[in-house]
């Protein structure tokens, strides 16, 4: 059972480049999330999708866009990468909020 | 003041010790509470949900105090493998997008 799968695991971008982080879950969960985690800090929500067809901004959405492609897949796009976006990005999914979320293994992104 | 606050530690304890972490939250509308465990350079993993009545899973006990707005995690008989960062998560009103993570408490269990 794969759970939540993120690709790529590592990426180095130059300032101004764009890229899309991919996330897929096989648990038939309704809700999916993108978080970023900076050193010594907790996770901060970038965007989330409460159900297929809906997306909403989280705490730190600036510089990012998302697409909920179908129930399984939720992608995060950086249109013009900036050094401040250097971080570890986690995708997560959940069924009911009360049951907690399951996370992918993360994408370590460095913008130089 | 942060919405969710944790003592960052580090907590350094010997094997077999009992250790407790607290987490305070500021929004009284919070409804769901969780503890996650995060190993170095890994993803967070759900450790346990926290219920009003308290709940126990083996050596781990979680408590919720709504009046004082804090949750706690107690680990008994600590193992080396318990070394990790423990994240407190609070969710408001059952809203998928309203989960706030604490910055985490680091635990190191030593032989």
Tell me which chain A residues have a C-beta less than 8 angstroms from the C-beta of B95: 50, 97
Q: Which residues of A36-70 are buried (b: 16+ CB within 10 A; e: fewer)?
A: bbeeeebbebbbbbbeeeebeebebbeebebebee
User: Which among A19, A23, A18, A22 is positioned nearest to A3, based on CA atoms?
Assistant: A23
Query: How many A/B residue pairs have CB atoms within 8 Å?
Result: 58
Asked if A41 and B103 come within 8 Å (Cβ–Cβ), the reply is yes
Cα gap B88→B5, rounded to integer Å = 8
Q: List the pLDDT tens digit at each of the 112 positions of chain A.
A: 679 999 999 999 999 999 999 999 999 999 999 999 998 778 999 999 988 989 999 999 999 999 999 999 999 999 999 999 999 999 999 987 667 889 999 999 999 9
Asked if B32 and A98 come within 8 Å (Cβ–Cβ), the reply is yes
Cα gap A60→A57, rounded to integer Å = 8
Cα gap B11→B85, rounded to integer Å = 10
């Amino acid at each position: 059972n794969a759970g939540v799968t993120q690709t790529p695991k590592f990426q180095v971008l130059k300032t101004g480049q764009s890229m899309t982080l991919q996330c897929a879950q096989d648990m038939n969960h309704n809700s999916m999330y993108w978080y970023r985690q900076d050193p010594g800090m907790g996770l901060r929500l970038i965007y989330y999708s409460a159900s297929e067809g809906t997306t909403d901004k989280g705490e730190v959405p600036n510089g990012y866009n998302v697409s909920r492609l179908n129930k399984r897949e939720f992608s995060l796009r950086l249109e013009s990468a900036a050094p401040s976006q250097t971080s570890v990005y986690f995708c997560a999914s959940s069924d009911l909020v009360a049951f907690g979320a399951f996370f992918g293994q993360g994408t370590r992104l460095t913008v130089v | 003041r942060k919405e969710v606050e944790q003592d960052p530690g580090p907590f350094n304890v010997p094997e077999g010790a009992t250790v407790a972490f607290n987490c305070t939250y500021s929004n009284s509308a919070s409804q769901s509470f969780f503890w996650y465990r995060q190993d170095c350079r890994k993803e967070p993993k759900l450790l346990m949900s926290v219920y009003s009545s308290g709940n126990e899973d083996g050596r781990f006990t979680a408590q919720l105090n709504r009046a004082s707005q804090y949750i706690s995690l107690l680990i008994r008989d600590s193992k080396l493998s318990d070394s990790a960062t423990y994240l407190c998560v609070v969710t408001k009103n059952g809203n998928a997008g309203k989960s706030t993570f604490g910055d985490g408490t680091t635990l190191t269990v030593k032989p």
